[in-house]
Structure 1
Amino acid sequence: MAAAAAAMMGAAARRLHHAAAAAAGQPPRLKKLALHPPKSVEVEFADGSSFHLSAEFLRVYSPAADSKIRSIAGEKVIFARRHVGIMSAESIGNYGVRILFDDLHKTGIFTWDFLYHLGSNKFSLMRNYIKMLRRHGLTRDPQRRK
């Protein structure tokens, strides 16, 4: 009986902690990360949020500096990544994951907080990305080889 009461109190304390974290603007705790190579990553958080993030989306919003990025008018521009794939992922401590893409980009560490941000805002982020490509006359598609 005491064990059941302690478990209930622990669960209540965890719910309170997550509610306080959400109120403070902190994302909820990651519950699950599933790699679906080569096309996507699925993440699930303690608040019930679940996101499927495509390889292209993750590559475009990779939090790393990369020599394959063009800077146009001071704007970071990654283009021609529609068909990029995910090769593997490596856990980084208990806070993130490093994803290796088939264009050999591997320097970005996606923290759980950043994955939550990407998932929560993926439609507006992708819309902004497509608008930015149009503004600069670029495309999501890779150039055809001759």
Structure 2
Amino acid sequence: MAFSRRDIPPVELEFADSRAFNLSAEFLRVYSPAADSKIRSVGGEKVIFGRRHVGIMSAEPVGNYGVRLLFDDLHKTGIYTWSYFYYLGSNKFTLMRNYIKTLKKHGLNRDPKRK
């Protein structure tokens, strides 16, 4: 089965306490724990934009503590620990709302630039 970028399923995570989270590739890319995640500094704020249709090409375990994700924009330096995944899932709506507010504040968009 082939997926278009709009049909990419979210990453599904379930934890021992029975909490489960569905996190989109865009959300995970925007909140990458990597220091060099192709961030644009706007007014002193670091903002990632234009990643609405980013996909995850692969995921590789890093020890027992996390996962390295390779995104189709070739970002791959962040290691998502299980506790960071849990934090992201627990705060998904607040984090995404804040992200969208920051984009609007700086006149940026979730959609990639047209070529």
TM-score by length of 1: 0.72
CA contact (8 A) 2:37 2:75 kept: no
Does the residue aligned with 1:88 lie in a helix, a strand or coil? strand
Gap runs ≥5 in structure 1 = 1-36
Does the residue aligned with 2:26 lie in a helix, a strand or coil? helix
Q: Which is higher, the Rg of structure 1 or of structure 2?
A: 1
Instruction: Give, in whole Å, the separation in 1 of the partners of 2:17 and 2:63.
Output: 22
CA deviation profile, 1:19-55 (whole Å, cap 9, x unmatched): xxxxxxxxxxxxxxxxxx9442111011110000000
Q: Counterpart of 1:92?
A: 62
Does the residue aligned with 2:102 lie in a helix, a strand or coil? helix
Instruction: Give, in whole Å, the separation in 2 of the partners of 1:127 and 1:113.
Output: 21
Q: Counterpart of 2:79?
A: 109
**Amino acid paired to 1:66:** D
TM-score by length of 2: 0.90
Instruction: Give, in whole Å, the separation in 2 of the partners of 1:48 and 1:39.
Output: 21
Runs of 4+ in 1 over 3 A off after TM superposition: none
CA deviation profile, 1:51-108 (whole Å, cap 9, x unmatched): 0000000000000022621111221100000000000001000000000000000000
Identity of aligned residues (%): 75
User: Is structure 2 residue 43 aligned with structure 1 residue 43?
Assistant: no
CA contact (8 A) 1:38 1:87 kept: no
Please give the root-mean-square deviation of Cα atoms over the aligned residues, in Å: 1.3
Corresponding pairs, count: 109
The structure where helix makes up a greater share of residues is: 1
